[in-house]
Amino acid sequence: MPFMTVTSDEVNYLVYRYMLESGFVHSAFSFGHESHIAKSKIGGGDVPAGALVSYLQKGLQHTEIECHINEDGTETLCDAAFSLLTRHQCSVRSKVKLFDPDVPIDEDFGVLETSRDAICHYRGHTDVVFTCAFNPEGTLLVSGCQDGTARLWLNVDDPSASSTSSLALLDRTPSANAILLSAWSPDGSMFALAAVSGEGWIWTAKGSLVSALSGHTGPVSGLRWAPSSALLLTCSLDESINVWTASTGKLHSTYKTHAGAVLDCDWHPSGASFLSCSVDTTIALHETRNGSGGHPTARLFKGHTRDVNCVRWSPDATLFASCSDDTTVKIWDPNADDPVHDLHGHGRDVCTLAWATTTTTTHDGTRALILASASFDCTVRIWSAARGTCLLVLSKHLHPVTSVSFTSGGEHLAASSHDRVFVWSVGDGALVRTYKATGGVNCLSWHASGERLAVACANNSLITLRVRS
């Protein structure tokens, strides 16, 4: 029998991939940073999606066979379930249990399922696609992959697959340096990419490299353009925040405010300040300083009791919202120390949130500034920012919800998890469209028209869904 070895790098990589594919992005960032995934020589393209679970299942099957084969070669008949973690006890029953009510069953959504002719496939990636973003005009689409490659897709305003071509921006295979984040500048002239290694890049809309960004020593967890498109904001698990001059790629300023990994950041709509949040349970408000000179001490907001995963300014810049592993969402006035609203209702970690960019007509017919939050409890909640009340609970997901995104007009909300993408009508909470994912969904991006949705998938695919007929 050939000699077999299993290295710690291989085990770490399988765990890291499982975390990413399951939507535990911040945990994956932390684990990847501590286990030096970026420095390993494992090629991501050689590892199929779902590898860890597949290997565990095969190992469990082998253990089950060993358990039930007797010394004389006969087999013990057993109907009892075999588990990874609990001790097995053989049992023979006259009737086998065919349905387990504790196992979630996916629904048949009939006409709400996205038809094949409403799906456009963008072919070229060969590994898990982590990020995608339409440009503001909806004519270009950028995507980033686990294997360290990125692509700029052309002619995406014509959704027929035959007319779609792409430029390979990065081709660093084999590499464990996954491209995790992408973002377009508000004026559409440039876009940025960021990787698990801490590296970043700025490109023109024509696919020419402007500059490589080197300053972080850990995975980049946040990537935000200033409203003017002149500056780029990044935050990292290395506990630092960097502001870059977009036209040159030079480091404009560095902030080290937090006592732990920084998980997210967001510009004030004026561009004069920005927010950051951290595993240290705090939110910080910073003023944008000029060059490398001194800057005022950041103002800290305290109230969460666990990691703060996401922070976002409201469209009118009068409020900001945060969400945390402590299961709460908080709405803050930047001029007050305590939250304006402390929103309870989620049963598990709240991983991300999004504001509707305009006031939206709610189910009671009123116009309101609304906020959506997504949780590991498999639900999405829509909140009234003014009243601090929950307007809707969207609960058809079977797995943790990891992405939420409003259309530009705020009429529809897309949400994704390991199992599905759902598109909801915000006014009444009605389900508008759904897409059955295979292997998980990592990122959503709406086309400017609100008629199509880009989806980055763990099964190596990048697609767009036509939401409106």
The tally of domains found in the chain comes to 1
The amino acid occupying position 436 is K
Between 225 and 173, the more confident residue is: 225
349 domain-assigned: yes
pLDDT value at 323 more than 90: yes
The backbone torsions φ and ψ at residue 466, rounded to the nearest 5 degrees and listed phi first, read: -85, 110
The reply to whether 84 falls in a domain is no
pLDDT surpassing 90 at residue 327: yes
Residue 45 in this model has a pLDDT that exceeds 60: no
pLDDT at 8: 84
- For 44-53, 139-148, 420-429, which range has the lowest pLDDT when averaged over its residues? 44-53
Residue 72 lies in a domain: no
In a domain, 372, yes or no: yes
Query: What average pLDDT does the chain have?
Result: 85
Residue carrying the six token digits 């969400």: 323
Residue 100 forms part of a structural domain: no
The CATH number for 238's domain is: 2.130.10.10
- How confident is the model over 219-253, as pLDDT tens digits? 999 999 999 999 999 999 999 999 999 999 999 99
Structure confidence at residue 150 (pLDDT): 93
Q: Which of 331, 361, 357, 358 has its CA nearest to residue 344?
A: 331
Which DSSP helix (H) or strand (E) runs through 32?
A: helix 25-34
The Cα–Cα gap between 410 and 322 comes to: 20
Q: Residue 422 in 3-state DSSP?
A: strand
The DSSP letter of residue 205 is T
Q: How many other C-beta atoms can be found within 10 angstroms of the C-beta atom of residue 391?
A: 21
Q: Does residue 414 sit within a domain?
A: yes
pLDDT in tens, 377-399: 999 999 999 999 999 999 999 99
Supply the angle between the helices 25-34 and 8-21 in degrees, to the nearest 10: 160
Residue 55, in any domain of the structure: no
The predicted-structure confidence for 337-373, as pLDDT tens digits, reads as follows 999 999 999 999 999 999 998 766 666 666 679 999 9
Tell me, what's the pLDDT at 209? 95
With a cut of 80, say whether residue 463 has pLDDT above it. yes
- pLDDT for 365 equals 63
Residue 392 structure tokens = 């809707």
DSSP 161: G
Edge-to-edge strands, sheet with 282-287: 262-267, 273-278, 282-287, 299-302
Is pLDDT of 173 > 50? no
Handedness of CA 21, 24, 30, 34 (dihedral sign): negative
Q: Which residue has the higher pLDDT, 359 or 448?
A: 448
Residue that wins the pLDDT comparison between 128 and 231? 231
Rounded to whole angstroms, how far apart are CA atoms 360 and 362?
6
In a domain, residue 241? The reply is yes
Please give the pLDDT value at position 124.
Answer: 87
State the Cα–Cα distance between residues 246 and 38, nearest whole angstrom: 26
pLDDT grade for 166, boundaries at 50, 70 and 90: confident
Instruction: Kindly list the strands in the beta sheet with 431-436, ordered across the sheet, starting from the edge strand earlier in the chain.
Output: 401-406, 412-417, 420-425, 431-436
Which one, of 283, 277, 358, lies nearest residue 316 by Cα? 358
Q: What pLDDT shows up at residue 4? A: 60
State the residue range of the domain holding 153: 114-466
